Amino acid sequence: MKTFPMFLQMRGRRVVIAGGGEQAAQKCRLILKTEAKITVLASGLDPELADLHQQGRIEWSDLPISSDSFADTALVFVATGCPGMDTCLHDLAKQAGATVNVVDQPDLCDAITPSIVDRSPVVVAIGTEGTAPVLARQIKTKVEQMLEPRLGDLAAVAGRLRARAAQRLGPRDRRDLWRWVFNGPVRQLHATGAERNATAKLKEAIDTGKFGASDAPAVALVGAGPGSKDLITLRGVQRLQEADVIFYDRLVDPEILDLARRDAERVYVGKSPGCHHWPQDKICRVIVSAALQGKRVVRLKCGDPGVFARGKEEADALAEAGIACEIVPGITAASAASAALGGFLTERGACDTLVLATGQSELGQSDLAV
The pLDDT of residue 276 is above 80: no
Question: Mean pLDDT, to the nearest integer, of 310-317?
Answer: 92
Those residues with Cβ within 8 angstroms of residue 241's Cβ, 6 or more apart along the chain or in another chain? 259, 260, 261
pLDDT tens for each residue of 137-147: 999 999 999 99
Contact between 245 and 265 (Cβ < 8 Å): yes
What's the confidence (pLDDT) of residue 370?
A: 45
The CATH H-level superfamily of 219-336 is Tetrapyrrole methylase, N-terminal domain (3.40.1010.10)
> Where residue 28 falls among pLDDT bands split at 50, 70, 90?
very high
Separation in Å, CA 355 to CA 255, 342, 368, 369: 31, 19, 11, 13
Pairing of strands 364-365, 360-361: antiparallel
Q: 249, 253, 263, 367: which is the annotated catalytic residue?
A: 249
Rounded to an integer, what distance in angstroms lies between the CA atom of residue 88 and that of residue 70?
Answer: 13
What's the confidence (pLDDT) of residue 172?
A: 79
Question: Mean pLDDT, to the nearest integer, of 244-263?
Answer: 90
Question: Mean pLDDT, to the nearest integer, of 74-100?
Answer: 96
Question: Mean pLDDT, to the nearest integer, of 174-193?
Answer: 91
Pairing of strands 75-78, 14-18: parallel
Ramachandran category for residue 19: left, alpha or beta (phi over 0 → left; psi -120 to 50 → alpha) = left
The pLDDT of residue 67 is above 70: yes
Rounded to an integer, what distance in angstroms lies between the CA atom of residue 113 and that of residue 79?
Answer: 13
Pairing of strands 297-301, 325-328: unpaired
What's the confidence (pLDDT) of residue 228?
A: 82
| Assessment of whether the complete model's pTM goes beyond 0.95 | no
Task: Please name the amino acid found at residue 83.
Answer: P
Rounded to an integer, what distance in angstroms lies between the CA atom of residue 304 and that of residue 209?
Answer: 36
What's the confidence (pLDDT) of residue 161?
A: 97
Q: 37, 140, 203, 271: which is the annotated catalytic residue?
A: 271
Which of 251, 248, 278 is closest to 260 using CA atoms?
A: 248
pLDDT tens for each residue of 194-218: 999 999 999 999 999 988 755 567 8
Contact between 299 and 222 (Cβ < 8 Å): yes
Question: Mean pLDDT, to the nearest integer, of 244-264?
Answer: 90
Mean pLDDT estimate for the chain: 90
pLDDT tens for each residue of 324-369: 999 999 988 888 888 888 888 888 888 888 888 877 666 655 555 5
Ramachandran category for residue 72: left, alpha or beta (phi over 0 → left; psi -120 to 50 → alpha) = left
Which of 218, 225, 28, 35 is closest to 120 using CA atoms?
A: 35
pLDDT tens for each residue of 226-235: 878 888 999 9
What's the confidence (pLDDT) of residue 282?
A: 92
* 283 HSE (CA, 13 A, CB side): 27
Give, as one character, the DSSP assignment of residue 184.
Answer: S
Rounded to an integer, what distance in angstroms lies between the CA atom of residue 317 and that of residue 336?
Answer: 29
Helix (H) or strand (E) holding 365: strand 364-365
Rounded to an integer, what distance in angstroms lies between the CA atom of residue 77 and that of residue 85?
Answer: 13
229 is catalytic: no
Question: Mean pLDDT, to the nearest integer, of 15-32?
Answer: 96
CATH of domain 14-113: 3.40.50.720
3 state SS for 50-79: HHHHHCCCCEEECCCCCHHHHCCCCEEEEC
What's the confidence (pLDDT) of residue 363?
A: 61
Where along the chain do its domains lie?
14-113, 151-208, 219-336
Question: Mean pLDDT, to the nearest integer, of 178-196?
Answer: 92
271 is catalytic: yes
Give, as one character, the DSSP assignment of residue 166.
Answer: H
Question: Mean pLDDT, to the nearest integer, of 169-196?
Answer: 90
Evaluated on CA atoms 13, 16, 22, 23, the torsion sign reads negative
Those residues with Cβ within 8 angstroms of residue 34's Cβ, 6 or more apart along the chain or in another chain? 10, 11
